[in-house]
Every structure is written in structure tokens, then in C-alpha cells.
Amino acid sequence: MPSIIVVGSGVAGMTAALEAVGSYDVTLLTKATLAQSNTRYAQGGVAVVIDAMNDPGAPKLGDTIESHVEDTLVAGAGLSDKDAVSILCAEGPAAMDELIERGVKFDRHDGELSHGLEAAHAYSRILHAGGDATGAGIAYALIDRVRESDIDARVQTTVVDLVVEDGVCVGVKLLGGEELRADHVVLATGGAGQLFPYSTNPAIATADGLGMALRAGVVAADLEFYQFHPTSLDAPGNFLVSEAVRGEGATLIDADGNRFMFDVHPDGELAPRDVVARGIAMQMAKQPGKPVRLDATALGAEFLAKRFPNIDAACRAQGFDWGEVPIPVTPAAHYYMGGIRTDEWGRTSLPGLYAVGEAACNGLHGANRLASNSLLEGAVYGTRVIEGLKDPQPVVPFDDEWPAPIAVDLLDDPEADDVNRTDLQRLMWDAAGLARNGDDLEAAIAELKRCKAPTVNDAKSAEDANLLVVARAVVTSALARKESRGGHYRTDIPETDPAQARHSSVVSHA
């Protein structure tokens, strides 16, 4: 029986591993526990056309696949790959039916699937589990299925590099030097939130898969596009305050108690995430030293505690009674639209290597992810990547929409100091955060060249090496895109250029 290694235990990784059981010998690797992933901490829900589900509790809302596709394309700011979007939306209902079969208990009311509204969606099509604990509901159900299966799941196992022989990925190298070999390797390592000092992601989100892929010469794409969530709690840990709170009617107010987002966008608090995040940042700059606040008091303490139990607990742990008093919020790094370049089957530019979920980029999210499409992506493309193993061809040649990659210099100066994660995060926030400009990006490239990757002798040094590689690629991509679009905003070039409505690609020449 052929073998497969899946690296990562979020919804994408566990879905892929479960889909492979029976046809492959499956090894699932994760550097922490099975539950430590971005999936586990996802609050908002899953966007899906509920009308198309087979669940007997699926209400008829008048929603359509075409509407979901259109909303996703609009959010993507002219850069979403329509084929990838169409696949996501069309195959989403079946993927949700499968999650229910695997034990996910989505919220219901009188037997009918509950459904919420989030920004930039034309319909109330967001499924939730446990109110604001959707990711946890999905993660723990899939963990139970993994433990019941023949999957060899190894926790506390750090992968430090890919093993490549004769131009083919044949396995992975573990911390300590051990090599695991397989016919196929799937990277489902999640996002890169730890590039920045303020992030809603857990501490494990250190761009590991992307860093390893770049070192191996694999093509990456759209690395300049990072989504900053508008509303994290302005307190240690930056706990995510879901967009669904605003979907239920909470408002953003300035230091004087006035709503300000309608001065920024006609959709106010429900504008696309990149617009709301920048609107908050601009308002914070106007009132230095005073926070922007999210006012959910009109919803009432009882409703908030029932609908958002985890957020309610986090607010109270920080001393905020958000049913009575508006809470301080601030933008934080949230989701990476860019990643390892793949096609719609998860195939990369390196034979034998596949990528799926937030670690991958098939053009689905374009320049800005539509709310609640990420868990859906993991479920849909986690299934498709296993189908893609049947035809293990590398990514199709570059074309007008996917240009030839620019080279990123990953060579270290042996005389340089080891990268310091705190300094790197601050540099990335200042130069490649919510707002960028050419001078700062050029200075950041120069500063990052004055750092070198540490000798990898533990999990943290492996993570730091990956963060440095990815940081260099991000600032190179951001400097190359000379326009503002979606999650990439340049103060020196604030206009969107229709001629640049194409993806970007990078590859290491080290």
C-alpha cells in the first residue's frame, strides 16, 4: 500500500488523513497536540449554502451557490481564482454533510440548522457549533475519528525540513535528524500569525510549511496578502472577538462614543475585513492613547453569554463586562491568503509534495478572504488533495494569471546575528502590517538580510528559521506589488491598478 505523510492537525490536515485511510498507510504529524491548530481557535463559523445540504434540518433560505461565489469574488478584490472559488462553494454543502457524519454538532434551533450573517455575505449562511466555538467543535470531532482510525498520529513531533531527492519530495526530516519517508507528503501546517507581535493565532502558527517549502525551492504565491482581523480584544493575548458579534448588531465607536465606520465605507461595521481593520487603525491614530471600542451592550449580557460563551469568558477574565460596557478592540494578524502555490488538487511545483488549507494558495481567497470561508476550505480541499494523489503531476506551468516567480534571496550572512523573534515581529508589524510603503519595505529587506537563521536544535529555533525565511519573502512580495489591493495597502500607492489584477509568485534562489 502506498504511504502518505500529513503534517498538521487542523481541519485540512485531519480531513486529508481521514480521506486517505484505506488507500494509503497514513502518518499524521503535529508539533504540539492534535488540538493545537488555528482550527481549534476559530470562532466565526463555516460559510456554506445551507439550502444545498442533505441534512434534514437544512432550512431553505433562497441562497445559491452562485451567490456564495459572487460574494467570495467581491471580497477577493479582483484576484480570486474563479475556478477555485466555484469548487469551494459547490462542494461545500457535501463537505458539511460529511463533517456532520464525522460527529460535528452544528448548532440547531427546533431541529433546524442555525444560521448567522457575517460581513460581505448576501445571506445568513454561517453555521456555528457551540456558539463561538465552531473550530473547537470541528477539531474535537475529527480528533475522535483520527483516534478511532488506522492513522499513525504522532504528537510533539517537529518537522524541520523536506527530504528531496532527484527533484522529488520523498519525505520529511524531524528534529534530531530522523527522516520519515513516504510516497506523498501533504503540508497542512496552517498560518503565519507569529510573524507579527499582535495575532489572533496560537503560538504554533509559525509558517513552518511555507518556510520549509521555500527552502526546498518550491514556488509560493500571493505572500503580500495578509488579513488583519479588525477586532481582537485590546488586552494580552489579543483574544479574537468574532466578526459574528458585529453581524449580530454590535457597533464600533470612537473615544467620544460615536460610530465612525460609515465615514469609511457605506457598509459600516460590516464592510470587508481589510477596510474595517484600516478604519479602526486610522481612528486609533486620530485619538492617540485612547482605544476604539466595540459596543455590544444593546445585545444584552444574557444573549452575549449564550451566543458567544468563549468571548464572554475571555472578556470577563480581563475584567470587561461587555454586556454593560463597550470593550477595547484593536486589529491583529489573523489569516494568510498567500502560501505554497497549488492547483485545485493541492499539487505544488515539487513532485511528491502537496499543500492544503492556510499553508496553501490556489488563488481562492484572492487579496482578501471572505469571512468564514477558511474552515470550509480545509474541509473541501482536504478531501480534494487526496483525490489529487491519483495524478501526481506538479503545478501547471505559469501563465498570464500566475506569472513566473520573482527570486527571494534566502542566503544568510554567516557573520550576522541570529534572528531575534521579537525584533522580527516588530519589524514586520511596522513595515508589512496594516499599511506599507516602499521605503519601509526596502529598509525591512535590508534589516532581514542582517539576520541569519539560528542553528536548529529545538522546536523554537526551527520556528525562528521558518519565520525569517517567510518574512523575507513577504516583504519582497509586498515591495513588488506597486498598488493597494485587499489586504495589501500601500500608503505611497493607495490606488488599485486594474493592470495588476494578477497573482504574484516567489521562489528561493538560495
- Give catalytic residue positions: 273
Task: Single out the residue of 457, 478, 480, 465 nearest to residue 410, CA to CA.
Answer: 465
Percent helix, strand, coil in the chain, to 5, is 35, 20, 45
**What nine digits make up the cell of 103?**
460527529
- State the burial class of residue 214 (Cβ atoms within 10 Å of its Cβ: 0-12, 13-18, 19+): buried
Inter-CA distances, 360 with 76, 334, 355, 357, Å: 16, 15, 5, 6
Integer Cα distance of 151 and 14 in angstroms:
10
Scanning 226-272, the segments in alpha helix (DSSP H) are 243-247
Integer Cα distance of 358 and 403 in angstroms:
21
Task: Single out the residue of 206, 470, 467 nearest to residue 338, CA to CA.
Answer: 470
Hey, which residues does 26 pair with through a beta bridge?
Answer: 4
Contact by Cβ (8 Å): 479, 438: yes
Contact by Cβ (8 Å): 269, 251: yes
Question: What is residue 364's three-state secondary structure?
Answer: coil
Q: Is the dihedral of CA 394, 400, 402, 408 positive or negative?
A: positive
Contact by Cβ (8 Å): 185, 376: no
Cβ neighbours of residue 161 under 8 Å, at least 6 residues apart?
172, 173, 212, 215, 216
